[in-house]
Structure 1
Amino acid sequence: MKYLIVIGLIAVLLALASAGFFMLRRGATQGRDVRMARALALRVAVSVALFLFIWLAYLMGWIQPTGVPLAK
């Protein structure tokens, strides 16, 4: 389960990096803007999907919150 969450976070970072790459790239602005917008839309979609997956995993009992131990 942890590996799926890590893979999802890496996918979010890769989509964000590709949007940054297209933003900084020289060339025709029309194609660059479209590709950057697609990369950012993909990042949002993956982020929402990851959130829903974590929520579903919690509801199904696949993951459990462990909490933070209190210092005494």
Structure 2
Amino acid sequence: MKYLVLVAFVAILGSLGSALYFMMQDGRNGRAKSSNMARALGFRVGFSILLFLCILGAWKMGWIQPTGIQAGQ
């Protein structure tokens, strides 16, 4: 599970870096640049939501346990 989360974070950061590259790229065609950037940001948002849902599902199934301060203390 740890490796899956690590790979997901790397993919999210890679997508964010890709969007930054497309934003900073000096392209003659502004529409293509913004389309690529929007696609990369959309992938990042979608993948972040998927990661959150997977972590929530793993917690509900008992595969992972929360740690830290207990509720009510």
**Does TM, normalized by the shorter one, top 0.5?**
yes
Identity among equivalent positions (%) equals: 49
Letter in 1 for 2:15: A
Tell me what 1:10 maps to. Answer: 10
Letter in 2 for 1:56: G
- How much does 1:66 deviate? 1.8
- 2:46 aligned with 1:42: no
Tell me what 2:61 maps to. Answer: 60
Tell me, which stretches of 5 or more residues in structure 1 are unaligned? none
- The ranges of structure 1 where at least 4 consecutive aligned residues each deviate by more than 2 angstroms after the TM superposition are none
Find the aligned partners of 1:5 and 1:67 in 2 and give their Cα distance: 19
Tell me, which stretches of 5 or more residues in structure 2 are unaligned? none
TM-score, normalised to structure 2, is: 0.89
Find the aligned partners of 1:42 and 1:13 in 2 and give their Cα distance: 11
**RCO higher in structure (CA 8 A, sep ≥6):** 1
Find the aligned partners of 2:67 and 2:45 in 1 and give their Cα distance: 27
- How much does 1:67 deviate? 1.2
**What's the C-alpha RMSD, in Å, of the aligned pairs?**
0.8
TM-score, normalised to structure 1, is: 0.91
Letter in 1 for 2:23: M
